[in-house]
Amino acid sequence: MSKSIFKKIDDFRWMLPQDYKQGMKVPGIIYAKEEMLDEIIEDGSHEQVANAAFLPGIVKASLAMPDIHYGYGLPIGGVVATDIENDGVVTPGGVGFDINCGVRLLTTTLTYDDIANRIEDLIDSIFDNVPSGVGSTSGLKLSKNDAKRVWKRGAQWAVEMGYGEKEDLEATESFGYIEFADPDVISDKAYDRGRDQLGTLGSGNHFLEIQVVEQIFNKSIADSFGLFQGQITVMIHTGSRGFGHQVCTDFLKVMERALKKYGIYVQDRQLACAPYNSQEGADYISAMACAANFAWANRQIITHYVRKSFEKVLNTKWKNVGLKVLYDVSHNIVKLEEHIVDGKKKRLLVHRKGATRAFPSGHPELPEIYRETGQPVIIPGDMGRASFVLCGTQKAMEETFGSTCHGAGRVMSRHQAEKVAKNMDVIKEMEKRGVIVRAASKRTLYEEIPEAYKDVSDVVDVVHKAGIAKLVAKMRPLAVVKG
């Protein structure tokens, strides 16, 4: 298959026309450089963009960001919105298994020179304090009643329990919880999987990283965000762990039955769905909100553990060295939002799977601290290269329902990466790049080698030049904990 299947809109936007597959309700639009298209075609993720265009109630286009790669149902990097007043549906395949996998960035008042000889001590302390790896558990074993409070209150619960400050919540998407979460729709199996995983990093591409700000692209916004060159930052990337995975698994079965019940046709059964205005749709959204809240509580508690690690190693209170939450953003979620479609304000269910909000200045959902600048957008890279902070734009609101990319995006499966890395000493390779690595599993390190990912610099270059997020700062990894 050649790149001729795409219609070029400009250097950073490529269209799959509506007639690419008979029955598509909208076109597909992929944000990418031309040289990225071969990989997209090779892994088949463009087909998932087209398949999503069959969803009932979909508006404008089936979208994909430049970190696009093949996923379950919707590709990772996919964004679709459905009109709830015109047959709009909700699909778990448009959110994924790791509900509210997201990223939190902590800023400090420290410079690299301040801690150059303490970085290894800091990452060792964090590795000791934050459980990581497959099936990792914490000392927080939740009773059913406590679990329900977490599902309802998210990061708000964590702060109420002493795991942070109110200011942390203001710097968290949705202030750390979705209010329509309903614990009554959660299965016992989901509870069992999540009851001792709160405050854990997990495995796969999840990580915790000490970084240094290497480059400032927009000084005015960087100043407003509290970022400066040479600054130490800490990035936390994790989600809802086994709890969210089980919520998704439970509702995939529900949605399979809903297809038949409501006479819905989908091109791909992995995009099984139900009308927003159905019991099945309402139950999934309520359960998804519980998992999203679990993830926000998880990142909040990990923030507490990071702060304690800094206190122990540096022998000072964490507030003395900053450790403020710059922002916390979700990557895998569905939100009810208002957007303009064909000149009319619509209430839409916006599915972002491996994509993140990029709301502009003045947006009413932003906290006051970012109302003038626009939303901080946090884009993690791989453990050997870089991560970025960007800022939301009005163009994102106009084109992508206020969305942009979420990371680098894989170019190798985990199995392929493991084969490539089997003769490598990954820890030593990272040390050569100036990165200290701690990991619960060598296998995870093999799966997460930098070569398994696109260069995140290319990805953010696309969204910056396309205008759906603007570059603010670049951070280089110094030390990382992998699961």
Q: 301: phi > 0 → left, psi -120 to 50 → alpha, else beta; which?
A: alpha
Active site residue 406: yes
Token pair of 361 as six digits: 């200045």
Catalytic hit among 304, 339, 406, 464? 406
Placement of tokens 């919540």 in the chain: 169
Q: How far apart, in whole angstroms, are the C-alpha atoms of residue 140 and residue 119? A: 28
State the burial class of residue 1 (Cβ atoms within 10 Å of its Cβ: 0-12, 13-18, 19+): exposed
Contact between 225 and 377 under an 8 Å Cβ cutoff? The reply is no
Token pair of 226 as six digits: 């509290």
Q: Please tell me whether residue 392 adopts helix, strand or coil conformation.
A: coil
- Residues constituting the chain: 483
Token pair of 412 as six digits: 């190798």
Contact between 182 and 287 under an 8 Å Cβ cutoff? The reply is yes
> If you ran DSSP here, which 8-state letter would residue 323 be given?
E
> If you ran DSSP here, which 8-state letter would residue 91 be given?
-
Please state at what angle helix 241-262 crosses helix 279-314, rounded to 10 degrees: 170
Token pair of 464 as six digits: 């910056």
Q: Of the candidates 380, 438, 403, which has an alpha carbon nearest to the alpha carbon of residue 236?
A: 380
Amino acid at 308: K
Neighbours of 272 (CB within 10 A): 23
Q: How far apart, in whole angstroms, are the C-alpha atoms of residue 77 and residue 98? A: 14
Opening angle at CA 373, ends 369 and 375, nearest 5? 75
Q: How far apart, in whole angstroms, are the C-alpha atoms of residue 248 and residue 189? A: 12
Catalytic residues: 406
